[in-house]
Chain A
Amino acid sequence: MTTLSLRAVRGRFHVPLKLTVGVSVVAWLVAWFTEAPLSDWLTFSVLGLERGSHFGEAIAFFLLDVPKVLLLLLGIITVVTLIRGFFPPEKVRTALAGRGTVAGSVTAAGFGIVTPFCSCSAVPLFIGFVEAGIPLGVTFAFLISSPMVNEVALVLLWGLFGPGIALVYMAAGLTVAIIGGLVIGKLGMERYVEDYVWALQGKGGTAIEIHLTWEDRIRDAWAYTRDLVRRIMPYLLIGIGIGALIHGYAPTDLVAAIGGRSNPFAVPIVVLIALPLYSNAAGTIPIVQALLGKGMPMGTTLAFMMAITAISLPEFVILKRVIKPPLIATFAAIVTIGILLVGYLFNFLIHTP
Chain B
Amino acid sequence: MRTIEVLGPGCDNCVRLEANAREAVALAGVEADVVKVTDPREIVAHGIMSTPGLVIDGRIRSYGRIPSAADIARWLAEA
Residues of A within 8 A of B (CB): 2-3, 6, 9-10, 85, 88-90, 93, 116, 118, 120-121, 123-125, 127-129, 131, 196, 200, 203-208, 210, 212, 216, 219-220, 223, 318, 321-322
Contacts and interface: CB of A to CB of B under 8 A. Distances in A.
Contact of B60 (A3, A208, A212): A208
A207 B13 contact: no
Contacts of A212: 65
B74 A3 contact: yes
A124 B44 contact: yes
A128 B49 contact: yes
Contacts of A124: 9, 40, 43-44, 48-51
Interface of A is mostly: helix
Interface of B is mostly: mixed
A116 B64 contact: yes
B60 A89 contact: no
B27 A120 contact: no
B49 A2 contact: no
B47 A3 contact: no
Given A120-B13, A207-B48, A90 B63 contact: yes
Contacts of A318: 9
B44 A200 contact: yes
Contacts of B63: 88, 90, 207, 210
Given A120-B9, A204-B47, A321-B40, 13 more contacts: A2-B29, A3-B77, A10-B70, A116-B50, A118-B51, A121-B9, A124-B44, A127-B41, A128-B47, A128-B49, A205-B47, A207-B63, A220-B66
A89 B11 contact: no
A264 to B, nearest CB: 41
Contacts of A207: 46-49, 60, 63
Contacts of A127: 40-41, 44
Closest 8 CB pairs of A and B: A120-B11, A207-B47, A205-B47, A128-B49, A206-B47, A89-B49, A123-B40, A125-B49
Most A CB contacts (10 A, CB to CB) among B40, B41, B61 go to B40
